């Protein structure tokens, strides 16, 4: 017990964001309890499972320090290392780019993050759903409650802190995916156009089989259901489906404020997904490290919690701004008829398209 509180910090959600907050806050001496509704954390799978390698992350987010300390992805969590990305218009003729990415075993990846946090002293309470937060008290569905000086909402897109204490809305795109058996080569594929209106589709090859799925913006879908789009896209690939999953991705980029009093949001709950490429795992971890470090400094020497927002802006502000801009530009572009889109994916535009997907300025003015 710390003072009259059960814990210094309670983190709601032990996904990539929450476990990373817990790891760094606990490493700085805080007494941290992570509460997660799932058991085991990370199941069932809700992910495309692609993350950039640490070298790609250094290129993608050049202002983020010390990537190798943050991303310690164990080999056991990597299903395949891919060296090429294909950006595919409706014609199916891809633009090809060198890209080093890890197609993960996401469940093993999240388990490894839990272990890292535990090694640093964080405690976990699983199979425990947080129903609400009042003041410094976190209430569980099973009737128990816990208090903490600082409460972190890392519960993803339905996080209870975000739901009850923030009024900013985010665009969420619904997503469906499958795991399919078979051989799918080495390149990861992102598909754009009418097969996934307002979103994108993917095929990420694993050591055996692939993770295949898509997300759409319903307002772009002309009354057709996500199921129908998913069925059409997935049926282009041949293989036995071994798993079906679904989820939701926040696609408005990071929200305006992450801190309210002693409440902090991290990861999907704070919109920390790069909308131009759907990267959320690594970005949640970048936010999680900053939040965890600032929390431990707050407890040790009174550093203001909103220092977390300042450091986030310094490390990720430019990348997030460019990604939001590219997503808005893409949303307009991908409303074009397929023939026009096919024509726009060419050797001359190749560099601009890559810059958009990798969150850099597309042109000198935007
Ligand atoms: C289908 C799909 C495919 C994706 N593909 C990719 C991809 O290929 N690459 C990539 O980088 N990103 C991808 N993403 C995004 C990525 O999964 C998220 O950005 C990332 O998981 C965010 O981490 P998080 O810790 O914020 O949230 P989550 O991983 O969602 O973790 C939240 C945790 O909080 C717990 N929780 C929620 N509410 C409560 C509650 N009330 N009480 C207790 N516990 C609670 C949940 O059980 C969960 O464990 C994908 C997302 C989806 C849905």
Q: Mean pLDDT across the chain, nearest whole number?
A: 93
Cβ of 52 below 6 Å from ligand 1 = no
What is the torsion angle, in degrees rounded to the nearest 10, for the CA atoms of residue 248, residue 252, residue 257 and residue 261? -20
CA of 268 to the centre of ligand 1 (A): 7
| pTM exceeding the 0.85 threshold for the entire prediction | yes
- pLDDT for 1: 43
Cβ of 188 below 6 Å from ligand 1 = no
Cβ of 199 below 6 Å from ligand 1 = no
What gap in Å lies between CA 19 and CA 120, rounded to an integer? 11
Which residue is closest in CA terms to ligand 1's atom 19? 280
pLDDT tens for each residue of 2-60: 568 899 999 999 999 999 999 999 999 999 999 999 999 999 999 999 999 999 999 99
- pLDDT for 365: 46
Which phi-psi region, left, alpha or beta, contains residue 239 (left: φ > 0; alpha: ψ -120 to 50)? Answer: left
Q: Tell which wins on pLDDT, 197 or 300.
A: 300
Cβ of 16 below 6 Å from ligand 1 = yes
Cβ of 15 below 6 Å from ligand 1 = yes
Q: Is the pLDDT reported for residue 86 higher than 70?
A: yes
First CA to last CA distance, the chain:
52
- How many beta carbons lie within 10 A of that of residue 95, not counting itself? 18
Give the list of residues 6+ apart from residue 150 with CB closer than 8 angstroms, or none: 8, 9, 10, 262, 263, 264, 295, 298, 299, 305
Cβ of 35 below 6 Å from ligand 1 = yes
Cβ of 278 below 6 Å from ligand 1 = yes
Q: Is the pLDDT reported for residue 359 higher than 70?
A: yes
User: At the topology level of CATH, where does 7-77+103-170+251-357 sit?
Assistant: FAD/NAD(P)-binding domain (3.50.50)
Q: Is the pLDDT reported for residue 115 higher than 80?
A: yes
Confidence of residue 350 (pLDDT cuts 50, 70, 90): confident
Give the list of residues 6+ apart from residue 249 with CB closer than 8 angstroms, or none: 157, 172, 173, 175, 215, 268, 273, 278, 280
Q: Per mean pLDDT, which range of 13-27, 189-203, 253-267 is the poorest?
A: 189-203
Q: Per mean pLDDT, which range of 106-115, 116-125, 263-272, 334-343 is the poorest?
A: 334-343
The mean per-residue pLDDT over the stretch 285-292 comes to 98
Tell which atom from ligand 1 comes closest to the C-alpha of 38: 47
Cβ of 37 below 6 Å from ligand 1 = yes
The mean per-residue pLDDT over the stretch 125-133 comes to 98
- pLDDT for 336: 81
CA of 38 to the centre of ligand 1 (A): 12
Which residue is closest in CA terms to ligand 1's atom 15? 280
- pLDDT for 354: 84
CA of 313 to the centre of ligand 1 (A): 22
- pLDDT for 332: 76
CA of 312 to the centre of ligand 1 (A): 20
> Which tokens is 308 given?
């977390």
């Amino acid at each position: 017990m710390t003072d009259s509180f059960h814990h210094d910090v309670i983190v709601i959600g032990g996904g990539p964001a929450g476990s990373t907050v817990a790891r760094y806050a606990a490493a700085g001496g805080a007494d941290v309890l992570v509460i997660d509704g799932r058991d085991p954390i990370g199941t069932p799978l809700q992910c495309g499972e692609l993350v950039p390698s640490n070298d790609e992350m250094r290129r993608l987010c050049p202002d983020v320090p010390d990537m190798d300390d943050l991303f310690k992805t164990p080999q056991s969590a990597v299903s395949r290392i891919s060296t090429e990305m294909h950006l595919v218009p409706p014609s199916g003729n891809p633009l090809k780019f060198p890209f080093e990415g890890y197609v993960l075993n996401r469940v093993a990846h999240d388990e490894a993050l839990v272990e890292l946090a535990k090694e640093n002293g964080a405690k976990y309470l699983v199979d425990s759903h947080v129903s609400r937060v009042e003041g410094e008290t976190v209430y569980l569905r099973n009737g128990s409650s816990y208090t903490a000086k600082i409460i972190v909402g890392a519960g993803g897109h339905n996080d209870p802190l975000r739901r009850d204490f923030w009024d900013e809305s985010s665009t969420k795109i619904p997503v469906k995916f499958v795991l399919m058996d078979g051989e799918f080569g080495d390149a990861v594929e992102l598909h754009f156009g009418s097969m996934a209106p307002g979103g994108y589709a993917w095929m990420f090859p694993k050591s055996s089989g692939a993770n295949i799925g898509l997300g759409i913006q319903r307002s772009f879908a002309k009354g057709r259901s996500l199921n129908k789009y998913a069925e059409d896209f997935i049926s282009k690939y041949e293989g036995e489906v071994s798993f079906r999953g679904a989820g939701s991705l926040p696609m408005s980029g990071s929200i305006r404020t992450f801190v309210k009093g002693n409440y902090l949001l991290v990861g999907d709950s704070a919109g920390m997904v790069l909308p131009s490429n759907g990267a959320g795992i690594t970005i949640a971890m970048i936010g999680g490290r900053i939040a965890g470090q600032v929390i431990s400094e707050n407890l040790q020497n009174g550093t203001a919690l909103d220092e977390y927002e300042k450091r986030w802006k310094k490390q990720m502000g430019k990348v997030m701004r460019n990604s939001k801009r590219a997503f808005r530009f893409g949303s307009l572009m991908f409303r074009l008829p397929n023939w026009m889109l096919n024509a726009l994916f060419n050797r001359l535009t190749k560099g601009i398209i890559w810059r958009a997907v990798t969150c850099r300025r597309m042109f000198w003015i935007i």
